[in-house]
Structure 1
Amino acid sequence: MTEPKILVLATGGTIAGEGGSAVARDYRPGQIAIEDFLATFAELGVAARLEGRQVANIDSVDIGPAVWRELHTACAAAMDDPSFAGVIITHGTDSAEETAFLLDLTLPTAKPVVLVGAMRPADAVGSDGLRNFANAVRVAADPQGSGRGVLLVMGDQVFAARDARKARTTGAGAFAGFPRGPVALASPASLDWLSPPWREGEGARLAFPQVFPPVAILHAHAGMEADAIARELASGCEGIVLAGMGSGNAPRAVEQALAEAVRAGVPVVRSTRVDEGLVDREPQDDDNGFIAARALGPAKARVLLQLLVANDVTDAATAQAAFDRR
């Protein structure tokens, strides 16, 4: 039986990184070309038909709209190409949750699209890159991987893009999911889905933007003053995400300044700097015109707000529905 063909889009990151030593603390991400990575992977004997393309070979802290556009174009083409069963994107872990969520919002769900990375470079003791990649191959090749949006595979777990976040700075188990945990457990030998597909037959939720509007993230802190909002508005930002204290809170003067920004036509989303938890709507949100981020942390709330503004969705009620949606 012929294995399904999978498109592999490489962007660099730790999974393609080297430190020059098995025990070095420092390393250089994005050193291994996708052709060399796939040649090494082929030596493992995993049955797979893989077609690699090098989109970038960089640290994921440097990934932004230019790379996102190339990834989106390639993924969309693969969706329309019957020769491909799915797509894998190798990616650094620092911004993987943003890339995954952006693609999740702007691609249909007809085929699996899987992001995968590593927490240890290729030449380190206990490198996790090849195992994570083998798990991603299993997910991308599985017909049951479709209808779930974009997925992220790390540490023998599979996360939905909307839930996935980097929760720890080091260690192979650096990723977690909220409000759902993993949606599947994966290994090179097995794949167990923990729920049925939840987005079968769904098209792209939002159009990929021609230009990404500037949206600021403001980190709330004790003693924060309202002039922080004035500076962002003066810079031309078209949206603001508050990484608030607790359940999305900020000092009273800051809240008033944000409400004034809304009245001036700049949408404001209340998220939280807390690691985990929902930011629900509060009675004053109606008066202030704020949007509650619900389960989205500041980084992903910013991505969604950028897409909404780019798609001319600035009405608070309509935007709130997009944040509420699973």
Structure 2
Amino acid sequence: MRKNLTVLATGGTIAGIAGSAIAPDYRSGEIGIDEYLEKVGGLGLEAELSGQQIANIDSADIGPAEWNQLYAAIMKAVADDACSGIIVTHGTDTLEETAFLLDLTVPADKPVVVVGAMRPADAVGYDGLRNFANAVRVASDAQAAGRGVLVVMGDRIFSARDVRKVRTRGSDAFRGFPRESIGLVTPSSLEWFGAPWCEGSAAAFGWCKDLPEVVIVYMHAAFSAGELLRHIGDDTRGVVIAGVGEGNMPEPVRQELVRIARRGIPVVRASRADEGLVDRETEDAENRFVAGRALNPQKARILLQLLVANGITDPAAIQSAFDGR
């Protein structure tokens, strides 16, 4: 039986045009959703697709205005009994952030699949059509529900919690941590690595139209407390440290962050390293710091924004939320 899927388009490389099959650069978000669905119509996909254009932009430009529209459209599709699943087309640069935000705020009742491409639509080796066909197969599968928001790239299925862009180019630009892919997919096959883990789960957080300001501060050799303070303004409600190693920082910076945390501004220690856990340190409780655990800085920021927006600012409560991700 053919499934009815809703496709929500936001732009990105998957809808990009270079003007030449071998051009070194391109323009993101040039193809509209109607044109794109007409293009994929000849693939013989076993689904009925209806599209809505949320935005048509480079994902570097995505923010609350687009997220608000996207969330509203997803929740409308979730409530529609005729809709079996939702696909979101998205640029790859911030794909993991949008996917994680939706994972925390959308119930796990229906498949929600985010998909992108690493090459524009008129480039040699355009991967967008295959990725999209794979996304259709995943969103059409009843076993995709109850797994949270999913990301499909390069024949692999990732959980939004785990997925991260690790390379600037190439079909293998995405990986997962701490779990690698949770399934493999082609346009004609689908294999899950395990059963759904959040069937019937409600959204972890209510939607917030105006997320509070949380800054990410990138640590490096010779980083100073003065540099730290230049990142923090009157509207800052949280700080995520992209720390060296296991969330570390120079001692003068640590001392300043302790003062900031004791003023009631949550401080999360994440790592600039690509993989690895940031565990609790003995001093974290006294310093009022939170260990980012498996979340990279950009995902730690999203989670902290939602926590603060919901009035959760106590370090122990924030740590519990990070431990549960």
Partner of 1:137: 136
Q: Partner of 1:214 in structure 2? A: 213
Q: Secondary structure at the match of 1:123?
A: coil
Q: How does 1:101-180 map to 2 (within 5 A)?
A: 101-180=100-179
**In structure 1, distance between residues paired with 2:294 and 2:180:** 13
Letter in 1 for 2:164: R
- Alignment-derived partner of residue 68 in structure 1: 67
Q: Does 1:81 align with 2:62?
A: no
Compute the displacement of 1:62 (Å). 0.3
| Distance across 1 between alignment mates of 2:284 and 2:90 | 37
* Distance in 2 of aligned mates of 1:193 and 1:28: 35
Deviations 1:174-216 (A, max 9, x none): 1000000000100000010001101111001011113111111
Q: Calculate the TM-score normalised by the size of structure 1.
A: 0.98
> What's 1:15 paired with?
14
- 2-structure distance, mates of 1:229, 1:200: 42
Q: Distance in 1 between matches of 2:132 and 2:207?
A: 27
Tell me what 2:192 maps to: 193
The equivalent of 2:94 in structure 1 is 95
> Is 2:288 aligned against 1:289?
yes
Q: In the superposition, relative to structure 1, how do residues 44 and 210 fare at CA in structure 2: closer, same or farther (>3 Å)?
A: closer
1:94-132 superposed Cα distances (whole Å, 9 cap, x missing partner): 000000000000010000100000000010000000000
Name the count of aligned residue pairs: 325
Task: Output the CA distance in 1 between the equivalents of 2:234 and 2:245.
Answer: 27
Q: Structure 2: which amino acid aligns with 1:72? A: Y
Give distance in 2, aligned partners of 1:236 and 1:144. 43
Structure 1: tracts of 5 or more residues without a match: none
User: Secondary structure, in 3 states, of the residue corresponding to 1:42?
Assistant: helix
Once residues 291 and 100 of structure 2 are traced to their aligned partners in structure 1, the CA distance between those partners, rounded to angstroms, is: 18
Give, as a single letter, the amino acid of the residue that structure 2 aligns with 1:41.
V
> What is the CA deviation profile of residues 17-55 of structure 1, one whole-angstrom value per residue up to 9, with x for unaligned ones?
010111111110100011111111011112210010000
Residue 242 (structure 2) aligns with: 243
Partner residue of 2:303? 304
How many Å separate the matches in 2 of 1:47 and 1:149?
23
Q: Partners of 1:185 and 1:322 in 2: how far apart?
A: 29
AA paired with 1:17? G
Give the whole-Å Cα distance in 2 for the aligned partners of 1:38 and 1:233.
Answer: 44
Deviation of residue 224 (structure 1)? 0.8
Does the alignment pair 1:276 with 2:238? no
Report the alpha carbon displacement of residue 233 of structure 1 after superposing the two structures with TM.
3.3
Taking structure 2 as the reference length, the TM-score comes to 0.99
2:252 maps to amino acid: A
Aligned CA-pair RMSD: 0.8
Inter-partner Cα distance in structure 1 for 2:128 and 2:233: 44
Q: CA deviation at 1:235?
A: 4.1
Checking the alignment, whether the CA contact within 8 Å between 2:217 and 2:231 is kept in structure 1 is no
The DSSP-based 3-state class of the residue aligned with 1:305 is: helix
CA distance in 1, matches of 2:301, 2:281: 20
Identity rate of aligned residues, in percent? 57
- Report the AA paired with residue 200 of structure 1: E
What whole-Å deviation, never above 9, does each CA across 1:44-77 have from its counterpart, x for those lacking one? 1122100100000000000011111111111111
Contact conserved, 2:215 with 2:232, CA < 8 A, in 1?
no
* C-alpha distance in structure 2 between counterparts of 1:152 and 1:122, whole Å: 19
Unpaired segments ≥5 residues, structure 2 = none
Q: How far does the alpha carbon of each residue in 1:253-312 deviate from its partner, in whole angstroms, 9 at most, with x for none?
A: 111111110111100000000011100111011110111110100100001111111010
Letter aligned with residue 10 of structure 2: T
Return the alpha-carbon distance in structure 2 between the equivalents of residues 245 and 208 of structure 1.
32
SS state of the match for residue 232, structure 2?
helix
1:181: which partner in 2? 180
CA distance in 2, matches of 1:146, 1:287: 41
Is the 8 Å Cα contact of residues 100 and 160 (structure 2) preserved in structure 1? Answer: yes
Amino acid corresponding to residue 31 of structure 2 in structure 1 = I
Q: What is the distance in 1 between the residues matched to 2:247 and 2:319? A: 15
